[in-house]
Amino acid sequence: KQEVTQIPAALSVPEGENLVLNCSFTDSAIYNLQWFRQDPGKGLTSLLLIQSSQREQTSGRLNASLDKSSGRSTLYIAASQPGDSATYLCAVIFAGTYKYIFGTGTRLKVLA
Amino acid sequence: SAVISQKPSRDICQRGTSLTIQCQVDSQVTMMFWYRQQPGQSLTLIATANQGSEATYESGFVIDKFPISRPNLTFSTLTVSNMSPEDSSIYLCSVNWDQETQYFGPGTRLLVL
């Protein structure tokens, strides 16, 4: 069964700390992987998209890496800020499909 | 990119009634998706809606409970029928842009009493 798992489920860090969120997927044959942010009671905002042929993508303080062979992706957030507090979701399109399978999410709280 | 709007943004409904959620995209797209996010949970795909054909439902979701319309390339509706408290969720529509980045609407927050 194709599944996506995220750890930790929740994370609380002081402002300014660098942090890593993890995403694991059960099948290394993927089309792409996308990281999203969801604020409480809101919809999803796309952060970074990594194609199957790519190893990483960067946007500002965010860096996402992809290691298909180990079935893992990480989202690195540098110099965290209270405004980064949200739930972070990763989603995968497995090869041969067209739909995203979402992970369980990591609830991040950055303390001022 | 695609800009997606949903109506209503939230609603409180009585058990046994139905609610139709609208999703409007500012560009023509082939595939639109409907997701459900139950409280404290991640997103679960309900169905894929293609213009001109019947929606494709995921395991555990049926057309009688969640009828979907897709009358054109920029609009879709999802109806939640004969609602029960277990249907209380956020319902989100989304589109794949250039078969890559997925964009989401702001969601419809539904509470069933």
Residue A57 to residues A79, B72, B102: CA-CA distances in angstroms? 17, 35, 16
Q: What is the pLDDT of residue B18?
A: 97
What's the rounded mean pLDDT across residues A44-59?
93
SS3 B108: strand
| Residue B84 scores a pLDDT above 70 | yes
- DSSP for chain A reads ---EEEE-SEEEEETT--EEEEEEES-S-EEEEEEEEE-TTS-EEEEEEEETT-SEEEETTEEEEEETTTTEEEEEE-S--GGG-EEEEEEEEETT--SEEE---EEEEEE-
Q: Note whether B47 and B61 are within 8 A (CB).
A: yes
And the tokens for B88?
A: 């209380």
What's the rounded mean pLDDT across residues A79-98?
93
Residue of B nearest to A107 (CA): B40
Q: What's the mean pLDDT when you consider all of chain B?
A: 93
What's the rounded mean pLDDT across residues B72-87?
96
Q: What is the pLDDT of residue A54?
A: 94
**Distance (Å, whole) CA B26 – CA A14:** 40
**Distance (Å, whole) CA B53 – CA B46:** 16
Q: What is the pLDDT of residue B99?
A: 62
Q: What is the pLDDT of residue A92?
A: 94
**Distance (Å, whole) CA A45 – CA B63:** 29
Q: Which amino acid is at A13?
A: V
What's the rounded mean pLDDT across residues A86-109?
92
A32 and B100 within 8 Å at the Cβ level: the answer is: yes
| Residue B97 scores a pLDDT above 90 | no
Identify the CA nearest to A2 among candidates A110, A103, A106: A103
Distance of CA B92 to the CA centre of its chain: 5
A100 and B100 within 8 Å at the Cβ level: the answer is: no
Q: By the CB < 8 Å criterion, does B8 face chain A?
A: no
CA distance B82 to chain A (A): 24
Question: What pLDDT band is residue B39 in, cutting at 50, 70 and 90?
Answer: confident
| Residue A109 scores a pLDDT above 90 | yes
And the tokens for B41?
A: 């949970």
Residue of B nearest to A97 (CA): B99
Cβ-based contacts of A97 with chain B (< 8 Å):
none
| Residue A35 scores a pLDDT above 80 | yes
Q: What is the pLDDT of residue B34?
A: 97
| Interface mutation vs chain A, best among B3, B4, B43, B89, most A CBs within 10 Å | B43
What's the rounded mean pLDDT across residues B1-12?
92
